[in-house]
A and B are shown apart, each in its own frame.
Chain A
Amino acid sequence: AQSVTQLDSQVPVFEEAPVELRCNYSSSVSVYLFWYVQYPNQGLQLLLKYLSGSTLVKGINGFEAEFNKSQTSFHLRKPSVHISDTAEYFCAVSDEGNDYKLSFGAGTTVTVRA
């Protein structure tokens, strides 16, 4: 069975500072990994995804993530955040052996302050 752990429930950060959101997963087969962002009262928007290939993945809005198979991690980073990055961030995983399910971590609330 697959599962996702987001290690930080809340991350306060100052504007223009870097941010890293941590995500670890467990799965017994090849995985597909995703980061989504959710603004208040909105659906989820894809930031980036790892399906295969290069372990460093670049997404929208200046975000990037690195897939580390040995550490079963997929941490999200941004070198300089803006006020508009204040949102909830979810790491998600799906795998070939799990009936097309997409499972989410508990989420990390990022609050950017001026």
Chain B
Amino acid sequence: DAMVIQNPRYQVTQFGKPVTLSCSQTLNHNVMYWYQQKSSQAPKLLFHYYDKDFNNEADTPDNFQSRRPNTSFCFLDIRSPGLGDAAMYLCATSDWDRGQNTEAFFGQGTRLTVV
């Protein structure tokens, strides 16, 4: 059974039209991550939550926002998508308990196309 679920798998949006990608988890993990992965590149961390604490990477554009209304759900909002934002967006979770990291569990990703 899928433990980290991303919807939709494929998203087409218009240039400049706001879009939201969603991620849910059944693992009850305290950390959730959003990564952007462009073709043939490594995943790039955009931001992550430790519980409700939001941590933004310094080079994440202001165009990208995130919400985590509860433990299970996390959203990525792109306020005005540009052509350069076309990519695979990966959500992941991990459970940091008393400083002991376990692996990150990834969703299947959402491939965003901007037209």
A contacts, CB < 8 Å to B: 32, 34, 36, 41-46, 49, 51, 90, 92, 94, 96, 99-107, 109
Contacts and interface: CB of A to CB of B under 8 A. Distances in A.
Interface stretch (B14-22, B70-78, B94-102): B94-102
B96 A106 contact: no
| Secondary structure class of chain B's binding surface, majority of residues | strand
Nearest to A52: B100
Nearest to A46: B103
The 10 closest A-B pairs by CB, nearest first: A43-B106, A104-B42, A44-B106, A43-B108, A32-B101, A46-B103, A43-B109, A106-B42, A49-B103, A100-B31
Given A100-B50, A102-B92, 13 more contacts: A42-B109, A45-B106, A46-B104, A49-B103, A90-B42, A96-B99, A100-B31, A100-B55, A100-B94, A102-B33, A104-B43, A106-B42, A107-B40
A94 B42 contact: no
B45 to A, nearest CB: 6
Interface in B25-77: 31, 33, 40-43, 45, 48, 50, 55
* Most chain B Cβ neighbours within 10 Å, of A36, A42, A102: A102
A32 B92 CA distance: 17
A99 B43 contact: no
Contact of B55 (A51, A99, A105, A106): A99
Contact of A102 (B4, B88, B104): B104
Contacts of B45: 101-103
A72 B75 CA distance: 36
B81 interface: no
A90 B103 contact: no
